[in-house]
Structure 1
């Protein structure tokens, strides 16, 4: 049974809801659908599942794009209602016929809805019965075929008489039977051989059982031609075993000395490493980037001049109307060529194929049935719709102002904690130092926490950054629990009055469950204010796998019923990709988290904000 059926405009005005159902929905499934699906260009999905404690709903929807109306049906996830799609289609057709933008009351639509629901339920029941009847008929036909196969003339295919089998129960010549016999030979361990000889013991005999392919397979597995039985008794010298490197055992008394040569200590206890503080100027985060489209305007002007030349040579009317739509309303077949070209263009810009397909499906859903303006090309309409969709996706849904949140945490007497996570080798430590440099320029006191206790040299690397930036660092060495190290670092920051704690973690692949469990424990135990995923701008399809599995593992391995997921994204190596900027779109689409920082160089100042307009223009160029 349906829990709710709702009709509202794209502006959020509720036009009609089914009073007959009268069920109060638990949670806010409609709001979540709008926020997580419709506003993030996921309207091309077949359905949406709303799962919160005490409420498990499935939602299906359809649009009337010309009128700007949305139709949503809500039902229990455990129920598989077959008539929902049919009912939504009929409700859409009937309500569109009576819709008036100036009208606010549609209480007379209740009777129409009841009739439509009865029709949809009856139709679904008929389909269900016919499918069961068809399955029974198919089963009966299969039984009849089997009986005919075994009963025809009392014989089996390719075999002798069922009744006269020689008394040994072998029903058919050449068949392997349950008693181990094979008509015309002997069956030994699944290998049929001629004359009752096992082929495994007769590879070199002259009775026709020799198989060259088997000999080749044996040679490929290391069986040599001159090997004899005596070799297995130890007459032949054993080959030299490969020497493997032994794993280092930490914390034992007989362990070798600590391999830490980055900080030699003098006899008086003072460190001898002299690292000059850094002076690199203003961070690029505080510089407003002006996006210029002069080059595109020049291209458009050039294209316009080319069009004029063509109109002179080929005539004004044919060129003007070539490629224009001739239908009142757009259909899916009209949109497919333009959408395919857009999908290919997005994929060449490093957008993951799965994301490009979903985006095109969402744009198609938003344009299907819409009336096209006069003298408007389908390609330009699709391009505009895609541009609007990309801007909505890349624009942050919630405001994350780190400087504001830092001052708010300072007023509460606690440090603001940022945890940097990501896969191996993406540049977490380097970009953590860039963020620290930017915060220092805004008069914010920063402390680093060296919680990468797994990778050799990670603590020394972070210590070098801290020395250059002249900021404190909290470290406990290697082979320690990173969750405990982070907790102690936060306590130390509270004691010494640091405003921000930047927590560096070990790089880990999304499939490494032990390391992901340790990361989940760190986040659960310390409840950071911001979890930043550091990812490369070079990745394409792997961006989807990395972020989705990171979030999934953090959710599955967290002991909390409301697990903490990724809050923001820091894209690194952005200066190496030219126009292949699709990883930013893939990451934001799959996680819903905004791109907060963009690393674009090797110095501390090379940290930027994401220019949404520039990214969208580059993707569609």
Structure 2
């Protein structure tokens, strides 16, 4: 049963709802659809599943892009209604005929909707009945074929003395078993290869030539034999001599921590300098001039590739001058295909590039193309707007304000750094600490990486350079307990921020993911930062989706804590391959809060959304 059908504008004004249905929806499926799907450029999907306590809905939608209308149908997921797509199409057509931008009430559409719904239900039931009728002859034909097969088998046994008759019956039975005959006619199979809809004459000899394959094998065998013989001669000339082991009977030193500046006599043998490298790049406004760069790119492209500019220009000239009645999918496909390839060359995951193009196509389909406007430029502008919406944070990411709010509540602000191995969690944790220190915020580090050798010493070195306290308990300890004790220590000594360093772990390592989930559930941090590399492409999707999935599955809370923000490292090594930022934000919905761009403490900056979008599009 259909639960609800709504019609509203792109601006969020509800024009009509079905009073006949009148079902009260549990939760807020429409708001969730707008927030999680339509605003995040996932409108190219076929449907959206909404889960709430005691409710499981499926939502389907369609757009009237020229009028700026959205049509949404909501029904119970268990029902699998077949007529919803047809009903939405008919409602879209019927409502567009009576739509007036000045009107706000459409009570006269109730009777029209009732008729459209009855027509859609009748059409769906008729289609279902025709499918059931079509299944019966197929089953009868199968049964008849089995009877005929068994009959041929009896004839074959009875005529086993006749050679010619036995061969004929055997071939017929084989043809019936393979489905090439229904008793009336026999279809002969041919071994032909078809390439681009045409028969390939060279494929008549078979899939490959066995003689050529044997020759290649013999040639390859001779070559490999000669190589092996040469290698064996060279190895025989060089005699490998084993070095004698030297045993050292000296007693092992009691302490092997070479990062400790305290020597045997209690004197400092290592000089630790306080880190003062200037102002952090987080506080510097990055100036981005897009107009001059675009002009240079256009001039360069015209000078280097004059034929590429002319290609397709004359074909769209008359269409761009006169304008097009409405854009359809066939018009948009060439421009979207080129845009998808461009995004993939910038390191955007293929799956995400395809979904973005589908969403842009859904937002443009049916729109009227203005005069003197090319389809490619229209598609590019729509994609640019979509990328800005995705990369722009939908919530406040002002950490300094949140720190002061937590301080008013007499508790430290806790940030947990998580991620896979070797992405630079400890280094960028120190950069964040340096930035906070410049804003007069007291910071304490918590060494909760009790798994990797040298992790505690590495963080201790950063703490000495920055002259901030560090809480550590050594190795092979429970990181969740260490983090809890660190937060308690911060509350006692008045530290405003606790930066928790965790062990690197792959997204498929369940024991370590379980330990991470325990740390987050036990300590309830204010911010969970996922540290990821800007070098990855498709792997970014796998990392973030599985991290969130594991944190949700292993959580004991009904509302599991997922990743809140992203810290993107090694951003200075990728040139224009900035697609990882888009992939990570799209798959998780979390904003990029920090960008690491170097080895010093000042090399931490904000994400410039306009710069990223221009780099992805150009």
Question: What is the TM-score of this pair, normalised by structure 1?
Answer: 0.81
SS at match of 2:576: coil
Q: Where does residue 363 of structure 1 map in the other structure?
A: 360
The CA distance in 1 between the partners of 2:562 and 2:403, in whole Å, is 20
Q: CA deviation at 1:296?
A: 2.2
Q: CA deviation at 1:155?
A: 4.0
The CA distance in 2 between the partners of 1:338 and 1:351, in whole Å, is 17
The CA distance in 2 between the partners of 1:33 and 1:270, in whole Å, is 65
Asked whether 1:471 is paired with 2:468, we answer yes
The CA distance in 2 between the partners of 1:160 and 1:272, in whole Å, is 103
Which of the pair is proportionally richer in helix? 2
SS at match of 2:474: coil
The CA distance in 1 between the partners of 2:473 and 2:499, in whole Å, is 15
Residue 583 of structure 2 is aligned with which of 574, 586, 597?
A: 586
- For residues 463-518 of structure 1, the C-alpha deviation after alignment (integer angstroms, 9 at most, x for no partner) is 00000000000000111110000000000000000000000000000011110011
The CA distance in 2 between the partners of 1:507 and 1:162, in whole Å, is 73
Q: Where does residue 418 of structure 2 map in the other structure?
A: 421
Q: Where does residue 7 of structure 1 map in the other structure?
A: 7
Q: CA deviation at 1:162?
A: 9.7
Q: Is the CA contact 1:324–1:378 (under 8 Å) kept in the aligned structure 2? A: no
Change (3 A) 1:318 1:14: closer
Change (3 A) 1:305 1:598: closer
The CA distance in 1 between the partners of 2:453 and 2:436, in whole Å, is 28
Residue 531 of structure 1 is aligned with which of 522, 528, 532?
A: 528
- Residues paired across the two proteins, number: 526
Asked whether 1:338 is paired with 2:327, we answer no
SS at match of 1:532: strand
Map of 1:444-593 to 2, 5 A cutoff? 444-593=441-590
Worse-matched range after superposition: 294-303 or 11-20: 294-303
Q: CA deviation at 1:94?
A: 0.4
Change (3 A) 1:22 1:442: same
Question: What is the TM-score of this pair, normalised by structure 2?
Answer: 0.81
Q: CA deviation at 1:557?
A: 0.5
Q: Where does residue 135 of structure 1 map in the other structure?
A: 135
Change (3 A) 1:271 1:130: farther
Asked whether 1:279 is paired with 2:242, we answer no
Q: Is the CA contact 1:325–1:377 (under 8 Å) kept in the aligned structure 2? A: no
SS at match of 2:486: helix
Q: Is the CA contact 2:323–2:368 (under 8 Å) kept in the aligned structure 1? A: no
Unaligned regions of 5+ residues in structure 2, if any? 162-169, 171-251
The CA distance in 1 between the partners of 2:146 and 2:254, in whole Å, is 77
Q: Where does residue 42 of structure 1 map in the other structure?
A: 42
Change (3 A) 1:597 1:8: same
The CA distance in 2 between the partners of 1:532 and 1:440, in whole Å, is 19
Map of 1:90-489 to 2, 5 A cutoff? 90-152=90-152, 154-155=154-155, 260-263=257-260, 266=263, 273-299=270-296, 302=299, 321=318, 327-489=324-486
RMSD: 2.7
Q: Where does residue 166 of structure 2 map in the other structure?
A: none
Q: Where does residue 81 of structure 1 map in the other structure?
A: 81
- For residues 359-390 of structure 1, the C-alpha deviation after alignment (integer angstroms, 9 at most, x for no partner) is 00000000000001111100000000000000
Change (3 A) 1:26 1:153: closer
Change (3 A) 1:562 1:343: same
The CA distance in 2 between the partners of 1:257 and 1:522, in whole Å, is 32
- For residues 200-251 of structure 1, the C-alpha deviation after alignment (integer angstroms, 9 at most, x for no partner) is xxxxxxxxxxxxxxxxxxxxxxxxxxxxxxxxxxxxxxxxxxxxxxxxxxxx
Q: Where does residue 232 of structure 1 map in the other structure?
A: none
The CA distance in 2 between the partners of 1:306 and 1:324, in whole Å, is 26
Worse-matched range after superposition: 131-140 or 1-10: 131-140
SS at match of 1:552: helix
Q: CA deviation at 1:39?
A: 0.5
Change (3 A) 1:528 1:12: same
Q: CA deviation at 1:319?
A: 9.3
Change (3 A) 1:269 1:117: farther
Q: Is the CA contact 2:37–2:43 (under 8 Å) kept in the aligned structure 1? A: yes
The CA distance in 2 between the partners of 1:118 and 1:319, in whole Å, is 44
